[in-house]
Every structure is written in C-alpha cells, then in structure tokens.
Amino acid sequence: MLNYKAYFNTMTNRCWTLPIVILYVTEGCNLQCRMCSYRKPLPDELTLDEIQKLADELLSFGLRHIVFSGGEPLLRKNFPDICQIFSRVNIKQTLLTNGLLLSKRYQEIQSYFHEIIVSLDGATADVQNSIRGVDSFDTILQGVKKVVSSNQRPLISFRIVIQKSNFRQMPMMIELARSLKIDRISFLAVDVRSVAYGRLETGETISDSSVNLNHEECSEFEEIIKQLSIDYQKQFENGFISESPEKLHHLAQYFKALIKEAEFPRNHCNAPNVSAVITSTGDVLPCYFLPSYGNIRQNILSSIVNSESIRQTRSEVKAYTLKQCQQCVCTLHVPFRNALFDKF
Ligand code: SF4
Ligand code: SF4
C-alpha cells in the first residue's frame, strides 16, 4: 500500500504522519560511559498509562516503527508491558540496549522485537570496560549468545561508537561479530559537540582529547579503513557491515574536521520529517541532537509536530544551515521512494 502522507512529509515541512519514533523509556542507565551522562532515572518519567495514551496517539498517527532507547530500556521493570502496548498492531519494534541485562531479561521480551541493537565499544574486555565505566564485557556477550542461540530470534546487531581508544579494534570487532554469528555491525563516530546523551541536564562536556583522534591517529584510521575495504569486501557488499567503505571514510574525515584538518563531511538527513524522539518525561525532539519543541503532557502530539518552530527547523535542516547538522554523527535519511512505499 502506498503511504502518500509519509511521501508528503518528505516533500514539505509539514508532518502528515509520524512513521518512526524513538522512545526513551527511562534515562537511568547501569553503565557509566565516558561520553554520556545518563545515570539515574528521572523522578517524573512517563507512567504506563501515559505511554498507553501516547501509543494510541502514535498508532492513529501512522506509526510504523518504534525504537526503544534511553538510558537503558531493560532497566525499566515494566518494559515488557510497554512492548505489549505497541504490539497490538503490526509495527516494527527495535530495542537499542547496552546489553548488560539482555541475558537476564531476554525471555520476557523475546517475542516483541524485529531487531535488537547492542551497543558495544570494545572487542576486548579492557577496552569495552574502560569506555563504559563498568565491568560489562563478558555479561554482554553472554546476553548476545543467548539471543543468537534462541529459536525464532530477532535480528541482532552491534553498534560501535568509534573513538580514540577503540578505532584500532575495528577489524577485531568485525571478527567478534562474525564469530558470534550476529547479523550485522555498524560504526558511528563519537559525539562530542552536542548536548545529547544527558549532557544538557548535567551541563557536562567531555574532553575532546580523551576521545578524539589526533593527526597521526586520523592517518592510521584511514589506513585501517582502506585495509577493511579489501579484507571485508564481501561483508560490505552483503550488508553485514552496515556502512559502505565510503561512509567509513566520512568517519575519518569527521575526526580530521574536529582537529581542523578537513571540512566536516556533508550529511544527508531528514530525521525531523519522518521521525521524532520522545524522552522519558515526554519532551518531543526533532532528532537526538536538536532541542525539544513541546511536551506530550501539555499538548497533543499532532499539534506539537506541526508547530511553527518545528516547521522552521525542518526547513533549516533541509537548507543545511544548522551547525548541529553540519557536525552530526548520527543522521537518518529516508528517501521519498521508501516513504511512499511505506518502508520504515
Ligand atoms: S551511552 Fe548508553 S549505555 Fe552508555 S551511559 Fe549512556 S545510555 Fe548508558
Ligand atoms: S543531521 Fe543530525 S542534528 Fe541535523 S536533523 Fe539530522 S539527526 Fe538532527
């Protein structure tokens, strides 16, 4: 069936439908990553009743794909109830998790997901644990193995945030993913510039030099990517590695831009036209990085996503005038054809 509303979303700055939503079910987390400030759940997070009401609104507004994120979603005790709420109709559900509770809670949530994305930042315990601030490597791999060996399992993938202390491990990470028989692996650059990842609330920033690559490391990173494109040609072609070699070179260019040795790579993104991020207290954001333009406790969603300010933001994103967009590490681009053919 053709989705004309979604198609019009991609063509205008108005929101006729909201196909993709990223919902932070909690902002509490059981890891202590150096690049993120989420730690404790907020005192006034959305209740199950409020999430039920939100789901009703989203489903009548054309939701196709819900991504649960946070914080760590599996920390929330009634998370299976939340999944159940969204499983009333046939929409895609994806879980973004740090994996620490995956082994413990997989049975409760197994049936709901199309894909489980596990963020892992090291191919060895020392690297993973130092970036993530908690002894977590073995427990996460246990959880991953449990998912892989289960019947009728969802897709499972790794997402790696590339930074100073792990870029040399890229080949090992690919080998680890292959040996665990997971479905795919993707890489993105560490975000140091935005106020996402809880840094807005705490006012914290991270020291660039602790995570960014210096001149020599950028050159080394480019060589690693060149070698990967030779050694893993098949895995790039069959989508096991989500990014193309060209996209990985953009990561290297991003790090060079941070030390003023290159321009930031050109991003293509229409996230605010096809999606929204809803925080655990109901704020609605155009994407992970741009500020909130309303709260579902104060206004109905269809009005929030069509407010004057968000329509203005969509025009600015399209015109590529926002600094956040020019330095963004995690974009989303849904081509108009995919929108029309309802592929979310
Ligand atoms: S990056 Fe993810 S896993 Fe790490 S502290 Fe933040 S929410 Fe938790
Ligand atoms: S490029 Fe980044 S900051 Fe800009 S709209 Fe897309 S996700 Fe948001």
166 lines ligand 1 (CB under 6 A): no
Angle at 81 between CA 293 and CA 44, to 5 degrees: 40
| Residue 99, both tokens | 């994996």
Pairing of strands 184-189, 20-26: unpaired
Q: Best substitution site from 22, 267, 274 to test ligand 2's pocket, by max atoms within 8 Å of Cβ?
A: 267
Nearest CA to ligand 2 atom 8: 287
Whole-number Å distance, alpha carbon 117 to ligand 2 midpoint, is 20
36 CA: nearest ligand 1 atom: 6
Beta-strand (E) ranges in 197-312?
Answer: 275-278, 284-285
Whole-number Å distance, alpha carbon 301 to ligand 2 midpoint, is 20
Whole-number Å distance, alpha carbon 135 to ligand 2 midpoint, is 32
The secondary structure element, H or E, covering residue 211 is helix 208-211
161 CA: nearest ligand 1 atom: 1
197 CA: nearest ligand 1 atom: 6
Whole-number Å distance, alpha carbon 269 to ligand 2 midpoint, is 6
265 lines ligand 1 (CB under 6 A): no
Q: Which pLDDT score is estimated for 196?
A: 65
Q: Which pLDDT score is estimated for 259?
A: 93
Specify which residues 118 forms β-bridges with: 97, 158
Burial class of 68 by CB neighbour count within 10 A (0 to 12, 13 to 18, 19+): buried
At residue 234, φ and ψ (nearest 5 deg) are -65, -40
At residue 119, φ and ψ (nearest 5 deg) are -85, 125
71 lines ligand 1 (CB under 6 A): yes
Q: Which pLDDT score is estimated for 194?
A: 66
Q: What is the pLDDT along the chain (344 residues), one digit of tens a residue?
A: 899 999 999 999 999 999 999 999 999 999 999 888 899 999 999 999 999 999 999 999 999 999 999 999 999 999 999 999 999 888 999 999 999 999 999 999 999 999 999 999 999 999 999 999 999 999 999 999 999 999 999 999 999 999 999 999 999 999 999 999 999 999 999 987 665 665 555 545 456 778 999 999 999 999 999 999 999 999 999 999 999 999 999 999 999 999 999 999 999 999 999 999 999 999 999 999 999 999 999 999 999 999 999 999 999 999 999 999 999 999 999 999 999 999 99
29 CA: nearest ligand 1 atom: 8
141 lines ligand 1 (CB under 6 A): no
Nearest CA to ligand 1 atom 4: 33
Q: Position 2: which residue type? A: L
d(CA 86, CA 278): 15
72 lines ligand 1 (CB under 6 A): yes
36 lines ligand 1 (CB under 6 A): yes
Q: Which pLDDT score is estimated for 88?
A: 85
d(CA 303, CA 282): 14
Say which residue the tokens 């794909």 belong to. 65
Q: Best substitution site from 22, 292, 322, 329 to test ligand 2's pocket, by max atoms within 8 Å of Cβ?
A: 322
Pairing of strands 155-162, 184-189: parallel
d(CA 37, CA 28): 10
pLDDT digits over 269-322, tens only? 999 999 999 999 999 999 999 999 999 999 999 999 999 999 999 999 999 999
pLDDT digits over 115-142, tens only? 999 999 999 999 999 999 999 999 999 9
Q: Position 284: which residue type? A: V
Q: Which pLDDT score is estimated for 36?
A: 87
Q: Which pLDDT score is estimated for 166?
A: 97
Number of the ligand closest to the Cα of 276: 2
Q: Which pLDDT score is estimated for 200?
A: 52
Whole-number Å distance, alpha carbon 175 to ligand 2 midpoint, is 31
Say which residue the tokens 């193309």 belong to. 244
Q: Which pLDDT score is estimated for 210?
A: 82
Rounded to the nearest angstrom, the gap between the alpha carbon of residue 311 and the centroid of all alpha carbons in its chain is: 23
d(CA 200, CA 281): 14
